[in-house]
Amino acid sequence: MRVRFAPEGWIFIIPFIVLAAVALLVQWTAAAIVLGLIAAFLLNFFRDPVRRGSERHVDVLSPADGTVVVIKDVPDGEVWPGLTRQISIFMSVFDVHVNRAPMSGRIVHYRYNRGRNMAAMVEKSSTENEQNLIVVRDARGATVAFKQIAGLLARRIVFDKKEGDDIVRGDRIGMIKFGSRVDVFFPPNADIKVLNRDKVKAGLTVLAEIPE
């Protein structure tokens, strides 16, 4: 699998590579090793592997890499009318942090909420942390929403699209830097395909199927 790196990462990666090289030149071996390890960690964190999962229009792919930490029902209208099932994915600092479109369709709603920065594992982070809410509707009228939620260390959510844009299943749509969470919301007829504690990958893992 070919691996790229998210362009947002170079502002963090390049200084550590340069500092490691300078430390080697002046023979500060210990400093060079530490700086080199930090650069390697950042390269791993900002990797952006090329992926293309299921093309079935009924499949909803994971928008994030990580671990499923919540599968539950939510009240109709709490997030968006008609969406009553939730899957939450925790992204550790060792996961790929690039987010991908869960299905093809049009972004019918987008909202940014400047909130807190609690740990992403905390349930309250779903409603109180800094976050983006994105609602997507496909050509047959099926609707899915997802939230990019900042975590304890994250200070910036990147979203490359806007309301009214068309997106394609599996395409890169943004990222959350340094630890975070993504919540995905489905209609009640969605057939959930994952279990709690499952590992999922953005653009590859089928989270749910929304029947015709």
Cα→Cα distances 74→48, 80, 172, 186, Å:
32, 10, 27, 10
What is the length of the chain? 212
Residues of the chain with pLDDT under 70: 1-3, 115-128, 151-155, 178-179
Q: Closest by alpha carbon to 188, among 69, 73, 60?
A: 73
Residue identified by tokens 């260390």 is 153
Q: Closest by alpha carbon to 151, among 68, 72, 88, 90?
A: 90
Supply the pLDDT for residue 120: 47
CA angle (84, 55, 3) in 5-degree steps:
105
Supply the pLDDT for residue 180: 81
Exposure pattern of 49-83 as b/e (b: 16+ CB <10 Å)?
bebebbeebbbbbbbbbbbbbbbeebeeeebbeeb
| Pairing between β-strand 166-167 and β-strand 143-150 as defined by DSSP bridges | unpaired
Q: Both tokens of residue 207?
A: 């989270």
Q: Is 180 a catalytic residue?
A: yes
Distance CA 206, CA 63 (A): 10
Distance CA 97, CA 180 (A): 8
Q: How far, rounded to the nearest angstrom, does the alpha carbon of residue 208 sit from its chain's CA centroid? A: 16
pLDDT tens, 27-70? 888 988 899 898 888 887 777 777 777 778 889 999 999 999 99
Exposure pattern of 92-104 as b/e (b: 16+ CB <10 Å)?
eeebbbbbbbbbb
Instruction: Specify the DSSP class assigned to residue 41.
Output: H
Correct CATH for 59-209 of 2.60.120.10, 3.50.50.60, 2.70.70.10, 2.40.50.140: 2.70.70.10
Cα→Cα distances 146→14, 40, 97, 108, Å:
32, 31, 15, 12
What single letter denotes the amino acid at residue 1? Answer: M
Distance CA 108, CA 21 (A): 48
Supply the pLDDT for residue 118: 53
Distance CA 39, CA 29 (A): 15
CB 23 within 8 A of CB 35: yes
Whole-model pTM: value is 0.81
